[in-house]
Each structure stands twice: as structure tokens, then as C-alpha cells.
Structure 1
């Protein structure tokens, strides 16, 4: 097994951050030829070029950008460790690494995570976003403590994870004031042919909405699909179409975006999960957000 030389990685990391050998040399008080030699050794080990030249600047290759991402995590974690060790044991921040799938609305995620910021002990929260499959691999590799998702983990994925239901709620259709008032009249037939702003296909909310539209015999005109739920709400606030949100955050959405309710569909359910690498919840912050979600946020929804 070949072992990574972290000194070589640190030279690469500094050059990538500074943009030139000269700036990195001044920062590290090491000669430019020495830095170049260390980076070449790293490239030889990896079998890849990490930089390409653009004038006087060094631009990272695609592989270089990937390596830089790992280097950032490694050296940032090292700095956090040194800072934490300088504090008394009782005051050292508890590190909490959470992955949030793209399809979970930001307001839902922030409400679920609130106990982490109110925890009696200092907590350093690290949030990462991405697709569910990617985040589950990170979770299984113990680079995350928890994944927040609006669907349970797929059994087809070759990683061992456990899905804990935090709660569920209905779906509220909403729009800008004038449009909402118009669509409330004759609901649900009023939605037939109406401009709709919906989540991306294959998301759990989109699938649930599609089933409800079919059962009601209506076909809205989908004019846009969104991976970013915040952008979807912003476009709806411009009066360009109606949209759908989990009922648990309707008050926050109305206050932030000025949207008004058309109707709430209880049959169209949203479910939110805390996915962990172990069956039993152990991390104290995971326990706190799970208990708060079940007893408060989703209680009676």
C-alpha cells in the first residue's frame, strides 16, 4: 500500500490557494524550486497532473480540484483539532456533520437542525448538500453523522444505512395573492391547465403530486421544474405560477415569500427521514433533533 505524504499535499494545497508558486513561496518561506519538486512527487504518486499553466498562474486540473477538496477537509480538520485542544474539555465544540439532499426544502432543514444550534454544549455544524446516493456513500464512510432526506434509503444501494422517520405532513398549494384567489375558486378543477412550478421529476413530492393530479383528473401546465426549492418559491412569488410546499413550513414560506394558500392536500404526504450508519441513534445532536422533530415540528401534522 502506498502512503500519502501530507507534506507534499500541503505544498500543493498552498499553491492552489495562492494561485502562484511565488505567493505560496512567500507564505511558506520555502523556495519555489523546493515547492515545485514536492508537487511533482505528489503528482508522480497519484499518476495525474494537478496543475496547468495559464500565464503566470497555475490553474488546477479536474483531478487537481478533486484533490484540493480533500486537502481542504484534511487541513481544516487539523486546524479545528488544534483550536479545540486549546480549550478545556467541557468547552470543546462537538462536531456535527450533516448531509442534506437537494430535494429537502431549506426551511424544513433549518427547522430540523435548530436543536443543534440550541444544544447545551458548543456544536460545530458542517452542512453538505448533494444527491441521496452520494451522501449515503459519505455516511457509510463515516464522513457524515446523518443525512436528512425526504425519502428512505434505497435498499438497492450497496451501503448499510438505517432510515429513521422524523415526521410527515400534507402538501400546501400556494401562489401570489391574485393568482391564489383565482385558483381557490372552483378548486381543484381550477388547476386544470393552470401554470405550475413544480419540483424536479423523480423527487418524492413530484411523484406524490403527480398521483394526486391523476386521481383528481386534472392536468396543470408545468412551465418550470426546479431542483432548488427556494428558487421555485421565488419564481412563484413573481406571480408566474402556483407551486407546492410541505405544509409544515407554510407559515414560514408565506412570511418570507408573500405567497398565499390555495388549498392543502392531506392525501399528498411528505415524509422526512434522518438516515444514519447505525441502527441505534447515538450522537447526542442526532438524538436532540430527532426528538424535537417528532415531539414538536411534526406533532399532529
Structure 2
């Protein structure tokens, strides 16, 4: 049976409004008539498209897929003139969430293989770990970039992909950092800019200081890599960061890197939701970053 595009248009309108009553009023239809139209579309597709949460309608995974197609279908009229002029291409969307505190250099490095593609639109959002995981579960995100994996057990719906790791370094301004100085001496004499205590990197650093019987002076505890980079540049202290965070500063000589590494690694993850209808762009970008040198 062919798809009834009237049903699809009604679904499309409700999906964007998120409220059946409001959409019915706007379309000058009764709420029951609109519900019947959507029910018939669900029967045709064989999947529920909405689930009700309070007074709001939440798209299911199948609903999110249907909305992506509906957006493309109903944009056709608007794109007709541009298509005839040869100025438009069909574009696919990749919705990426990133931990708000994650290095921007890392994000660009991961996304670079797909950013230059004219057929792909990358939608990048930032947030806390909880917000990112909720975005995945609500099908508002296709993948999330994090530096700590979420809980992984039989009850969680997430797939965790390790996409790279890098040794953390000690960096500072040329005026402050003596690159050849032993690690223990740096910990003993210099103030440090460190990640907050909920970071795996910070946990490893505290363990290292304990093994060396040193109690470092803490100049600042920071949960944002951009701020850590700025504080290091302003010579507030030595920073414990992955070199990718301060690539530009190391290249220009504004910051230097200690030769003795603390032997602490930061691991980066792409987290996805186990889906029946996976966005093919997710697999493509994961494959393109497999074995990639973007962290070096």
C-alpha cells in the first residue's frame, strides 16, 4: 500500500509542535480526527511514532527517523528553484553532543573527516554527562563525545566506543617551566592547574603525588579545558592537560611541555544508543576515526 502523504504531513506538523491539541487548532481539525490520521500512519509503518510524557508527545526512535524523512520530503518544494539552479544538494544530518568541558581541538579532530562533506550537516550541542545521555535516549543526539564512559551493564542502552587516548603532559610558560626538570621537582616547587576531583586524570595525578611523597600546591581546579588553557597561558601555574588541548600554544612556543611525562592517559569515548534504525553517518565517522592520528 502506498504511503499516504496527508497522514505524513499531519504527523510532521504534530512532531514539530509536540502538542496534539495545539496542532489540531492550527490546522482547523478536531483532535480526534488528527489522532486518527497519525494512528493510520503508524499502522502503515508498523511502528509507534509517539509516546506521551505528561501533556507532551515524545518521538520514539521510529518517530525520529520518520521526522527526518518528512523534513526532507516537505522541504522539496522550497528547494525546487535552488535545485533547478544547481545550488543545492541533498544533505543528511548528524547530531553530535559533546561534553561542555571537552577540548575543542579534540572535537574538531574527531569531526574533521565529515565536516568538509557537502552532503552532511553537523549539528553540535554541548552539555553535562546527564544531558548528553538523556539526549541520546530521547533520540535527539546520534552520538556523544565524552572523556569518561557511562555505566555499562545489561540494563543500560548505550554502546561505548573508545576512539583514542593521549598521555597527559605538564605544560607551562617558558618563564615558569624548565622542561628538563625532574617531575618530582616540578610537583614540589610549582603551583598546578588541575582538573577537578571527579576526573579520572585528577585521580591518577593525586595517586602519583602520593607515590612521590609530594603535596603539590594547587593554583586552580578547573572542569573546563578552555579555561585551563587560558590559565596556563596567563602563567597562573603549570597545567596538567593532554597536548591536544594546547596544540596552538605548543606550536607557537607560548607554552612548553615538560620532558618527563606523568604517565597518565586520558581516554576519549564516542557513546551511542543501541538502535534498530541507526544513523549510517555514525558508523562512517567511527570507522574513519578508527586508528586515526587525530590525537597525536
* TM-score (normalizing by structure 1): 0.66
1:17-32, aligned counterparts within 5 Å? none
1:93 aligns with 2:91: yes
1:128 aligns with 2:125: yes
Question: Mind listing any 5+ residue stretches in structure 2 that lack a counterpart?
Answer: 1-18, 27-53, 56-66
1:147 aligns with 2:144: yes
Change beyond 3 A, Cα 1:186–1:103: same
The aligned residue for residue 57 of structure 1 is none
Superposed displacement of residue 217, structure 1: 2.5
* Whole-angstrom CA distance in 2 between matches of 1:133 and 1:175: 33
Aligned equivalent of 2:263, options 261, 267, 270: 267
Aligned equivalent of 2:206, options 202, 206, 210: 210
The aligned residue for residue 160 of structure 2 is 163
Aligned equivalent of 2:101, options 95, 103, 122: 103
Determine if contact 2:109/2:294 at 8 Å carries over to the other structure. no
The aligned residue for residue 17 of structure 1 is none
CA RMSD in angstroms comes to 3.6
The aligned residue for residue 194 of structure 1 is 190
Superposed displacement of residue 154, structure 1: 1.6
Superposed displacement of residue 238, structure 1: 1.2
How many matched pairs?
A: 233
Change beyond 3 A, Cα 1:175–1:279: farther
Between 1:193-202 and 1:286-295, the stretch displaced more is 286-295
Superposed displacement of residue 284, structure 1: 3.7
Change beyond 3 A, Cα 1:208–1:282: farther
* Whole-angstrom CA distance in 1 between matches of 2:25 and 2:143: 32
1:8-23, aligned counterparts within 5 Å? none
Determine if contact 1:169/1:266 at 8 Å carries over to the other structure. no
Superposed displacement of residue 83, structure 1: 7.2
Superposed displacement of residue 150, structure 1: 0.6
Determine if contact 1:174/1:263 at 8 Å carries over to the other structure. no
The aligned residue for residue 226 of structure 1 is 222
Superposed displacement of residue 159, structure 1: 4.3
The C-alpha deviation readout for 1:67-122, integer Å capped at 9, x for no partner, is xxxxxxx9xx979963796266x922211111101332111111111112123x52
* Whole-angstrom CA distance in 1 between matches of 2:100 and 2:122: 18
The C-alpha deviation readout for 1:225-256, integer Å capped at 9, x for no partner, is 11221111111111110002224555344237
The aligned residue for residue 25 of structure 1 is none
The aligned residue for residue 176 of structure 1 is 173
Change beyond 3 A, Cα 1:219–1:8: farther
Question: Mind listing any 5+ residue stretches in structure 1 that lack a counterpart?
Answer: 10-44, 47-73
* Whole-angstrom CA distance in 2 between matches of 1:112 and 1:178: 33
* Whole-angstrom CA distance in 1 between matches of 2:277 and 2:73: 25
The aligned residue for residue 75 of structure 2 is 82
* Whole-angstrom CA distance in 2 between matches of 1:291 and 1:84: 35
The aligned residue for residue 41 of structure 2 is none
